[in-house]
Structure 1
Amino acid sequence: QAPANYQVINKQPRTLNFIFGPVTFQRRYYQVGTKKREFYLDQQLKIKPRRRLSPHYLMMMAKIAQTTTMRNTADILNLVFDSGITADSVMHAVHELGNQVAKQTQAKEHQATPRHMPKNLTIEGDAFMIKGKKE
């Protein structure tokens, strides 16, 4: 359900390749306010503009590409799913997903983690001398 201030301009078809095959559906092109225009369905489904592969398909492609070459990955996907993927498409998808993973990893590294103070500390070995405190 689109919000009330969205006005339909027209309907356009969109085809996405999923693991189970291509799916074509009609989507509405909306006018929002005076200048903004968008596909509300694409926004809700988090589908990127000018992309023909579903996010799950891209993830599966990247998982296969981790263990084999780009050309072999394309061959495997074409044999199993008959999608017409090229080695270049596989390479671009893997690089794009790699950049996303790198950004997420950097964001996690910059998060502050709280320090943990142990209640009891046990040290084994006799290679160093410990100065004791009263407690």
Structure 2
Amino acid sequence: MTAKQKYIYVRGKKIYVSNEIYKAYKKQLNHEAYLKRLDKKYGVFHFGEYHSNISDVVDKNIDIEKIIETKMRIEDLYRALEKLNDEERSVIKSIYFNEKTLVELAKQNHTNPMKISRTRDKILKKLRQLLDK
């Protein structure tokens, strides 16, 4: 073997290889190192490298119970909205879903904002009662 001959390690053994094989091997190693740098840069973790319990992956900042409770309250709210008459539902939809101001709604209904405000308050009180049942 000459001093310039290339070798690689396979399962801990030194194996002499041709220049072409050595270049292909090094090219592959460099490519793998490049991909690992990209993974590290972008925070990519592979499950095969993660030797831990799945519960360690859970985001402790997310309160699942609170999310479920909120979704259930939203469903209750939509059921309560269905129990309103068309005029009441229209006022709530305009203010809270279409984000109209009391002034805009008053102009649309040819009335004053104070009347719209009182109507809104009565509807919200009714909704609270429906939700408390």
TM-score range with shorter-chain normalisation?
Answer: under 0.3
Greater strand fraction, Structure 1 or Structure 2: 1
Structure with greater Cα Rg: 2
TM-score, normalised with respect to structure 1: 0.27
TM-score, normalised with respect to structure 2: 0.27
